[in-house]
Amino acid sequence: MPRSLRFRPLPQHPSLEQLKKQAKDLLASLRQGDQTVLHRFTRCFQVTEETCTSFKLTQAQLVLAREQGFPSWSQLAAWVTDRTLPSTPEALVQLLGARSHGVRKAVEIQLESLGKTGVDAAIRELFDPSPRVRYGAADFMDHHADEDCADKLRDMALNGPVPYVRDMALHALGCQRCKPEPLAVDILDILILRAKTEESWKKRRGAVWSLTQRNLDPGVQETLHYLAENDPHPEVAGAAR
């Protein structure tokens, strides 16, 4: 069974008829015992090789919708047909995890139009079970963060289990020029921790570059000296010198 699957986002001009055909083909492949397709269904349903022949077209449509970041086929169909999005902020923010950039951008515009209500809805999604939704919410915070979300973003940047979500949370905290007002938050401790502990040498080097711009702050000189002497990757050690 594949460990992970990659899905293409919707094309710029998606066709509902083509998506319906994809759902029919997906269902046919499941009934034929295709292991990759079976794995795709397990993301939404409890399914085994013995039960795979009992699934219906509506369930295959739901699988496709969920893979695109839509909670239902009806929401996916509404977007594809006439670019209709949900009207409530609670439903809108779920689509911050959509695979299509066009969908996410439209959601962001609609959330912006709601003002503080839209921002608060996105803040709540920083704890969504889906990493893609958490990432999308943190990305939205990059331009709309306020003090109400600073602690949540810090916790995500420090303790989030998914690396790319941690990265976006840190960016949303640290990039002040995009904010309506600068956040009263310091990320120095996060940068030091990342420089010492990130598995990716490129991410450690990125943290080192950020630290070199703050070499008068407490603990930075000691951290850079330690990394220059002890980091196993020459690019990181060199950046720390």
**Lowest mean per-residue pLDDT among 2-11, 138-147, 224-233:** 2-11
Q: Could you give the CA distance from residue 80 to residue 115 in angstroms, rounded to a whole number?
A: 26
Q: What is the model's pLDDT at position 164?
A: 95
Find out whether 192 and 211 touch, Cβ atoms under 8 Å: yes
Annotated domain spans of the chain? 22-67, 69-185, 186-241
Q: What is the mean pLDDT of the segment spanning 210-220? A: 94
Structure tokens at 195: 């420089």
pTM: 0.88
Report which residue type is found at 146: D
Q: Could you identify the residue written with the tokens 């929401």?
A: 75
Q: Which phi and psi angles does 162 have, rounded to 5°? A: -110, 120
Q: pLDDT digits over 85-109, tens only?
A: 999 999 999 999 999 999 999 999 9
Q: pLDDT digits over 160-169, tens only?
A: 999 999 999 9
Q: What is the model's pLDDT at position 5?
A: 58
Q: What is the model's pLDDT at position 183?
A: 87
Q: What is the model's pLDDT at position 215?
A: 87
Instruction: State the greatest distance between any 2 C-alpha atoms of the chain, in Å, as a whole number.
Output: 66
pLDDT range class, residue 184, cuts 50, 70, 90: confident
Q: Please say if the pLDDT value at position 40 is more than 70.
A: yes
- Helix, strand, coil content of the chain in percent (nearest 5): 65, 0, 35
Q: pLDDT digits over 126-135, tens only?
A: 999 999 999 9
Q: What is the mean pLDDT of the segment spanning 192-208? A: 96
Q: Provide the 10 A C-beta neighbour count for residue 164.
A: 13
Q: Could you give the CA distance from residue 92 to residue 104 in angstroms, rounded to a whole number?
A: 10
Sign of the torsion angle spanned by Cα atoms 215, 221, 227, 229: positive
pLDDT range class, residue 3, cuts 50, 70, 90: very low
Q: Please say if the pLDDT value at position 1 is more than 50.
A: no
Q: pLDDT digits over 134-175, tens only?
A: 999 999 999 998 888 999 999 999 999 999 999 999 999 998
Q: What is the mean pLDDT of the segment spanning 196-214? A: 96
- Percent of the chain exceeding pLDDT 70 equals 98
Q: What is the mean pLDDT of the segment spanning 184-207? A: 95
Q: Please say if the pLDDT value at position 45 is more than 50.
A: yes
Q: What is the model's pLDDT at position 2?
A: 38
